[in-house]
Every structure is written in structure tokens, then in C-alpha cells.
Amino acid sequence: MTTISPKMLSAAGRRHAVLASRARQLARPRTMDMAVKTINCLVCEAAGELYALALLKIAKVTPTARLASVPASNPALVGVTARAGIFYHVYDLATLFGGRSSTDGHLVMLRGLPAMALRVDTAIRVTDLVQLDAAEAASLRAAHPSVAAFARAEREDLFGGRIISLIDPDKLAPTNVVGRVEGDQA
């Protein structure tokens, strides 16, 4: 088959050649992977396990500071701390999930009411997670009702392929916690 130089074609012939070439390119099968829905989360470690919270649910992450102690029947409630006039009830994530707690680490302050913070051993990093499908998650059992799903890091080199529990903070909250204490209105 001989190739014809574009200069040898008429204007209509050149248009036809360009359109035919473009049609061949579009007819090729796509080589790109399908997009995967990811969740942007903060991954934390508590008692050797990995947990993730959606970034939209987090107000602030700070190093664990001194907490005011409170009498409580819940062993996971380790104290309270204040930020911008709001008292956060601090729960130890490891104790909530049946592990051993530590006294230092990070506080992950959550948005919404009641105002809560979670004490974790380490706030590792923010990353995109891919939720496991039903077949992959069938053999896994949630350690707490607040575990909404299981996921893995989108990048395979992160966390050594470990499974991460996605936490729904709305399922952590007790119903009788005061969110804000106002001063006297005299």
C-alpha cells in the first residue's frame, strides 16, 4: 500500500484523512484503568491496629496534653480537654476496642455534637483508602459497632497491605454528653 503525502491531497481529501485517522484512534480499546472510589482519611494506630476517620469528621489533631480527669463509669473515658470554649470528652480508642491504652500519643478532635476526641497511639498520615467489597470483608469481624467498613490504602506500598477499620464517629457518641458550658447570664 502506498502512502500519499498530505500535500498531494485536495482540501476535502485532507479533511477526510484527518477524520479517518481520528476515528481509528477512537476505535482502539482503552488502556486506562477504571476510576476507583476513594475515601480521604486520617489513619491512626491504637493498640497495634490501624483505624481511619474521614477527614470531613475531624476538627483538629494535637499531641496528647494533660487532661482533666472526670469520674466515669466508662473506662474508655480518660478525661476532658477544652478548645475554643468547647469541652471535648476524650475517649481512648484502644480501650473502646478492647485493647491496652497508652497515656501519650495524639488527640483527634471530632466535629459535631457531642464534642468528642479520641486518644490514639499515633496519628500516622492522611491518605486515600479503598473500601473492601463484600467478598473481601466477609471474613472480617468488627471489634466495635462504630466500625462502618474495612479498607486498604489505595497505594499498595503503604501500611504493608494491612486492613484498616473505618470508624463512623456518629456511632461512638454516647447520648447524654453536654457539648458546651456557657457562663452566667446575669
**How many CB atoms within 10 Å of residue 82?**
11
Task: Judge whether 29 lies within some domain.
Answer: no
Residues with Cβ within 8 Å of 100's Cβ and at least 6 positions away in sequence, in order, are 47, 94
Three-state SS string across 98-132, please? CCCCCCCCEEEEECCCCCEEEEECEEEEEEEEEEC
Domain harbouring 57, CATH code: 2.40.50.180
Q: What backbone torsions phi and psi does residue 122 show, to the nearest 5 degrees?
A: -150, 130
Range of the domain at 156: 39-171
- pLDDT value at 42 more than 90: yes
- pTM to 2 decimals? 0.70
Task: Judge whether 84 lies within some domain.
Answer: yes
Task: Judge whether 66 lies within some domain.
Answer: yes
Q: What backbone torsions phi and psi does residue 151 show, to the nearest 5 degrees?
A: -145, 175
Task: Judge whether 142 lies within some domain.
Answer: yes
Coil, strand or helix at 35? coil
Q: What is the model's pLDDT at position 66?
A: 85
How many Cα atoms within 13 Å fall on the side-chain side of residue 68? 7
Tally the domains of the chain: 1
Task: Judge whether 16 lies within some domain.
Answer: no
Q: What percent of the chain has pLDDT over 70?
A: 81
Coil, strand or helix at 4? coil
**Can you give the C-alpha Rg of the chain in angstroms?**
27
Average pLDDT over residues 138-157: 79
